[in-house]
Amino acid sequence: MTTFDLRRQPTSAGVYLMKDDAGVILYVGKAKNLRARLRSYMQAERDTRPQIKFLMERAATIETIVTDTEKEALILENTLIKKHRPRYNIHLRDDKTFVSLRIDLRDEFPMLEVVRRVRQDGARYFGPFSSSSALRQTLKEIYRIFPLRHYPPAKCRQRGRPCLFHQIGQCSAPCHGHISASDYAKLVAGVLALLEGRQGEVVELLRQRMSLAASEQRYEEAASLRDQIGAIDKTVEQQKSVRYGAIDQDVVGIFRQGGEVEVVVLFYRQGKLTARRNYNLNWQLDEDDLLAEFLSQFYGRDVPVPDEVVLPLEIEGGDALSEWLTERRSRKVQVVTPQRGERRHLVELANRNAKEAWQERGSREEARRRVLAEIMQRLQLQRMPQRIECFDISTIQGHATVASMAVVVDGEPDTGEYRHYKVKSVEGTDDYAALREVLLRRLQRGIEEQKLPDFILIDGGKGQLGVLSMVLEELGLRDLIDIAGIAKSRVKANVRGRVVERSEERFFLPGRKNPVILRGGSAALFLLERLRDEAHRFAITHHRKVRGKAQLQSVLSEIPGVGAKRQKALLKHFGSLKKIKAASLEELKAMPGLPTRTVEEVYHFFHG
């Protein structure tokens, strides 16, 4: 166990790093008073929490970094956790992907964009929303009421006439001068009022316009406005979860069962519950420590920051967190821990959601364990396949050969662990050699990082499985990793070429002649097929990107004086090879950093 002189430790705010004998960082934490916090670790003999004892038995040294303020310690802790990903810190993994709406009011004609990342770029963001498909459906209704543009003006002006959205009444075509900037600004104001929950203002405005149109016998316009009012009533859901005020709030709930903790964040926007996000974490320390670390990591990413963060319990450094969030949002953000009133009711609702999410997750995890147990039993694996990796090679006639790795952790795809590989040592068409290179690179790095899969699934038959077996033997991993190959189903056809019978997927195992056939429609078969398809999709997508880039560069590389840097600059400036070909001599001369001689070479290459 680590021992050191506590009297030499500072009493100021800062960050501490616990390291093992090899200097690997095990845990990163922050404290208002470093000496007091480290003293609590040094008294681990009297501490009944298992993770404290477990951590201190492995920690050989503790390094401290002093900061001027608690806020600086919070930021530094977040940065170090992202950089080193220590084993004993929590790591957030979203159950779902959330989307937001972006609108930049600085544009002459602002447009709505669906985005998955919230950036500090001066634009306004609304969200997050839990369903991208539902959000896009809502956008269709918004465009019928307020026909904002759909595409950048420069792209639209390249067309000789307005786009199809204008023809069906869902775009006001500002790019072709069909609406003035002032009238367009009124549409934007209506959209903002709608998204901010001020439907009453929008409906009243539309009713006034409808009455005016009817009094002037413009009955078609009046009917259209009547339909718009009805669409607003249907589109903007009046939820029962309107509880407190008209501000944006993130309400955090927590439920703990032993060393497992469920954290839920309820997103209230203008008093309405719009989405929920939940996390399952393994944690043995105090709940306030968990919550403090969770919040710093959660808001350290590209997520919308609300007016108010409502917590179920007080945390150390709440003022520092408020100050940090205020800087990120450029507006005042409060961090509160209510004891009574409406906010307390919201916290209790979030806590109930956390408990229900934990119970629901438990039933899902039990189902996933049964699936993994079936895979283990049917494919004769030595251990439960908690981490499964699948590899696929993609190439066309030996050009731009790439590989992909898709990953399933505890029965669920973990897209953050997916990897692309560019095959470097193989020329021509040799899938076996390419597979060998990729497997060696992956497993050698896994040995260094002590992060190896339990089970590797190869997209292919006995040949690919033989390559994998040899690589494992070479690295001494044969007894540590289970393997199998998945071969596509066979199709039997009659003399006319029509499908008569399609066999099930075949799984080849080392040392076994005949393949294993999993029961058709079983959850185990579905999981492995989905993993194989993900690896194939990931490889094909990357291959197309690499191949397309290579084709672009191969054309431009034939032009004298155009090297790799100028190829990249040309593509960045004009946007595509087609636009470079169509560019006039004056347009090429207007490109910054392109010498006159090179301009002439590019122009004459494409125009003769």
Contact 308, 248 (CB under 8 A): yes
Give the separation between CA 155 and CA 151, rounded to whole angstroms.
Answer: 7
Residue 92 domain flag: no
Q: What CATH number is attached to the domain comprising 562?
A: 1.10.150.20
Q: CA separation (Å) from 575 to 246, 279, 332, 570?
A: 43, 40, 40, 8
Contact 145, 232 (CB under 8 A): yes
What is the bridge-based pairing of β-strands 482-487 and 455-459?
Answer: parallel
Give the pLDDT score at 585.
84
Give the pLDDT score at 412.
85
Please state the pTM of the whole predicted model.
0.61
What is the bridge-based pairing of β-strands 249-257 and 99-103?
Answer: unpaired
Check whether residue 74 and residue 132 sit in a common domain: no
Q: Which of 337, 357, 267, 331 is nearest to 303 (CA)?
A: 267
Check whether residue 454 and residue 529 sit in a common domain: yes
- Give the domain extent around 595: 557-607
Give the separation between CA 456 and CA 390, rounded to whole angstroms.
Answer: 6
Q: Which of 204, 235, 266 is the last residue of a domain?
A: 235
Residue 372 domain flag: no
What φ, ψ does residue 401 adopt, rounded to 5°? -70, 125
Residue 584 domain flag: yes
CB proximity list for 369: less than 8 A, separation 6 or greater? 384, 411
Contact 113, 102 (CB under 8 A): yes
Give the separation between CA 130 and CA 275, rounded to whole angstroms.
Answer: 5
Check whether residue 212 and residue 342 sit in a common domain: no
The string of pLDDT tens digits covering residues 478-488 is: 889 999 998 87
Give the separation between CA 279 and CA 354, rounded to whole angstroms.
Answer: 9
Give the separation between CA 3 and CA 432, rounded to whole angstroms.
Answer: 52
> What's the number of domains the chain is made of?
5
Q: CA separation (Å) from 140 to 112, 125, 127, 137, 179?
A: 11, 18, 17, 5, 20
CA dihedral 77, 82, 83, 88 (to 10 degrees): 80
Residue 1 domain flag: no
The string of pLDDT tens digits covering residues 79-103 is: 888 888 887 887 776 545 568 888 8
Residue 551 domain flag: no
Q: Which of 64, 42, 62, 68 is nearest to 53 (CA)?
A: 42
Q: What CATH number is attached to the domain comprising 396?
A: 3.30.420.340
Beta bridge partners, 25, equal: 19
Check whether residue 205 and residue 319 sit in a common domain: no
Residue 381 domain flag: no
Give the pLDDT score at 189.
86
Q: Is 169 left (phi over 0), alpha (psi -120 to 50) or beta?
A: left
Q: Which of 372, 402, 346 is nearest to 548 (CA)?
A: 402
Q: How far apart are the first and last CA of the chain?
A: 77
Check whether residue 191 and residue 302 sit in a common domain: no
Describe the crossing of helices 219-235 and 132-145 by its angle, rounded to 10 degrees. 160
Residue 54 domain flag: yes
Work out the angle at residue 325's Cα, subtended by the Cα atoms of residues 238 and 259, and round it to the nearest 5 degrees: 85
Give the separation between CA 263 and CA 252, rounded to whole angstroms.
Answer: 7
- Find the length of the chain: 608
Check whether residue 320 and residue 221 sit in a common domain: no
Residue 454 domain flag: yes
Q: Which of 84, 112, 136 is the last residue of a domain?
A: 84
CB proximity list for 536: less than 8 A, separation 6 or greater? 392, 394, 404, 459
Give the pLDDT score at 244.
42
Q: Which two tokens stand for residue 184?
A: 């367009």
Q: Which of 305, 232, 265 is nearest to 96 (CA)?
A: 265
Residue type (1 letter), 357: A
Q: What CATH number is attached to the domain comprising 42?
A: 3.40.1440.10
Check whether residue 530 and residue 567 sit in a common domain: no
CB proximity list for 76: less than 8 A, separation 6 or greater? 15, 30, 65, 67
What is the bridge-based pairing of β-strands 491-493 and 387-396?
Answer: unpaired
The string of pLDDT tens digits covering residues 380-402 is: 999 999 999 999 887 655 455 78
Check whether residue 305 and residue 355 sit in a common domain: yes
Q: What CATH number is attached to the domain comprising 347?
A: 3.30.420
What φ, ψ does residue 500 adopt, rounded to 5°? -105, -45
Check whether residue 68 and residue 160 sit in a common domain: no
Work out the angle at residue 128's Cα, subtended by the Cα atoms of residues 257 and 270, and round it to the nearest 5 degrees: 100
Work out the angle at residue 32's Cα, subtended by the Cα atoms of residues 332 and 328, and round it to the nearest 5 degrees: 25
Q: Which of 289, 258, 262, 497 is nearest to 357 (CA)?
A: 262
Residues of the chain with pLDDT under 70: 1-5, 43-54, 93-98, 130-131, 134, 158, 197, 199, 231-246, 258-259, 284-285, 395-400, 426-429, 489-503, 542-555, 557, 608
What is 145-170 written as a DSSP string? HS----S-HHHHHTSSS--HHHHTTS
Give the separation between CA 595 and CA 559, rounded to whole angstroms.
Answer: 14
Check whether residue 253 and residue 314 sit in a common domain: yes
Among positive and negative, which fits the CA dihedral 428, 433, 434, 435? positive
Check whether residue 539 and residue 476 sit in a common domain: yes
- Segments of 329-475 assigned E as strands: 334-336, 387-396, 399-409, 412-413, 419-422, 455-459
Q: Which of 36, 60, 84 is the last residue of a domain?
A: 84
Give the pLDDT score at 95.
47
Check whether residue 254 and residue 130 sit in a common domain: no
CB proximity list for 252: less than 8 A, separation 6 or greater? 263, 264, 265, 266, 291, 295, 309, 310, 311, 312, 347, 350
Strands of 61-66's sheet, edge to edge?
25-31, 14-19, 61-66
Beta bridge partners, 422, equal: 402
